[in-house]
Amino acid sequence: MIEFPISLTYQHRVIFTDGVFDQENNVLAEVLTLVPAVLRQRARVLIFVDEGLIEADPALPGHISGWFVRRTGMFDLRAAPVPVPGGESCKNDWNQVHQIWSTIHDAGLDRHSYVLVLGGGAVLDLVGLAAATAHRGIRLVRLPTTTLSQGDGGVGVKNGVNYFGKKNWVGTFSIPFAVINDVRFLDHLPLAEKRSGYIEAVKVALIRDATFFEEMAANVTAMQDFEPAMLRRVIERSAELHVRHIATGGDPFELGSARPLDFGHWVAHKLEQMTHFAVSHGEAVALGIAVDLIYANLAGMLAGPVCERILQLLEDLGFKLWHPALLQSVSTEEKRLLVLQGLEEFREHLGGALCITLVIDIGQAVEVREMDEKLVRRAIEKLQARALAADVALSL
């Protein structure tokens, strides 16, 4: 055997700014000049933009082009910003990957160029996959434009699209060259999307940071009103906790089977798939967290009042904690809950051994190697009963 270790050090950069394409804002220019140009004077740049963002802010592509025009001597913008259909459906259409590859190819990008992507988590995942595989990897600068992607997905090290009807079945681990979080993009987000990102902040607080949880609980009204300072704080802390876990948790490329950041996600991924993504990722994670919290409570691992307090916070933040698909059977003959297949799929995703993160107190997580299916059903039924009781209370 001939054996050599290969170690590489990456820098994972997440930069916070306000108005990245304001003419005077130089954050992006600093990022794009971090690495001295070796091949040519001006770095080649190509920009993909989520169509949902363009619809919400039609002037944006012009602003972007204007920013680059002002810096023509520094950068070679190879084409006008390229629109990409937004939302989960873009991850279900392999042609999109091909389309992005073609655009990169036609623009003459190489491994010394930069792909910039502005968008929600779905567009970041799609363009990220295409950029990571074109020429075996072109530097990627992500500019997440949803609360969820600024606080979680966009600051991570994964990309991927859905395949065989399964979430993120094709994808790579690939550390972006930089992530630029510009809170101003969120001005244009519909409220439901704005709220969606809160769930990943609550999730990471539940498994890592009780103080952050208490901070959110104490500022729930400011969060409901999306007060800019609180929104910014929630995103920054959520991003920081996610990035810290990835960078210092010892397993950035998920070679082991523990996935604490996927707390609540085994149900969530399955629900998204079962509802053909009518339930958004954020909504699905809220439901998944609720099921796993009640499960932990029924299993005697989480105190009832703590469980209820967390569920209440989720509801106060505007998450609906019931969806009928949770009780859908596999078929009329097979009464097993379809959502339980999410456990097998999660196991497959982890690479063989099941490892589910459960919360035993605010800020404290444990890993379990199996889930009791009867208890999962009871947890779901309890969630339903809770929702029904709330409906009755409302109608009284």
Ligand X SMILES: NC(=O)c1ccc[n+]([C@@H]2O[C@H](COP(=O)([O-])OP(=O)(O)OC[C@H]3O[C@@H](n4cnc5c(N)ncnc54)[C@H](O)[C@@H]3O)[C@@H](O)[C@H]2O)c1
| Interface positions with ligand X (CB under 6 A) | 50, 52-53, 56, 86-88, 91, 119-123, 125, 145-146, 148-149, 152-153, 156, 158-159, 185, 188-189, 193, 196, 281-282
Alpha-carbon span 298 to 375, nearest angstrom: 7
- Residue type for position 235: I
Nearer to ligand X, 285 or 307 (CB): 285
Q: Which residue is nearest to ligand X (CB)?
A: 52
Q: What is the smallest separation between the CB atom of 261 and ligand X, expressed in angstroms? A: 8
* Minimal distance, residue 67 CB to ligand X, in Å: 17
CB atoms inside a 10 Å sphere around CB 281: 27
Shortest Cβ 37–ligand X spacing (Å): 29
Shortest distance, position 120 Cβ to ligand X, whole Å: 2
Q: Which is nearer to ligand X, 129 or 302 (CB)?
A: 129
In whole angstroms, the minimum distance from the beta carbon of 155 to ligand X comes to: 8
Q: Which is nearer to ligand X, 193 or 209 (CB)?
A: 193
The Cα–Cα gap between 190 and 343 comes to 32
Map residue 323 onto helix, strand or coil: coil
- C-alpha 318/C-alpha 92 separation (Å) is 28
C-beta closer to ligand X: residue 273 or 297: 273
Kindly report the length of the chain: 396
Minimal distance, residue 107 CB to ligand X, in Å? 23
Comparing CB distances to ligand X, the nearer of 188 and 347 is: 188
SS3 category, 261: helix
Instruction: Classify the C-alpha dihedral 254-258-260-262 as positive or negative.
Output: positive
Q: For residue 172, is it left (φ>0), alpha (ψ between -120 and 50) or beta?
A: beta
The smaller minimum CB distance to ligand X, of residues 120 and 288, is found at 120
Q: Which two tokens stand for residue 256?
A: 């082991």
Distance of CA 300 to the CA centre of its chain: 30
**In the complex, what is the shortest distance from the CB of residue 52 to ligand X, in angstroms, rounded to a whole number?**
2
Closer of 91 and 377 to ligand X (Cβ): 91
Paired tokens of 51: 């169509």
Q: How far is the CB of 129 from ligand X (least distance, A)?
A: 9
Contacts of 116 (CB under 8 A, 6+ apart): 28, 45, 46, 47, 48, 140, 141, 143
Tokens of 112: 């010394």
Judged by beta carbon, residue 284 or residue 307, the one nearer ligand X is 284
The residue assigned the tokens 């592509």 is 61
- In 59-167, which ranges are continuous DSSP H helix? 60-69, 94-106, 121-133, 147-151
Nearest to 364 by CA among 156, 249, 211, 220: 211
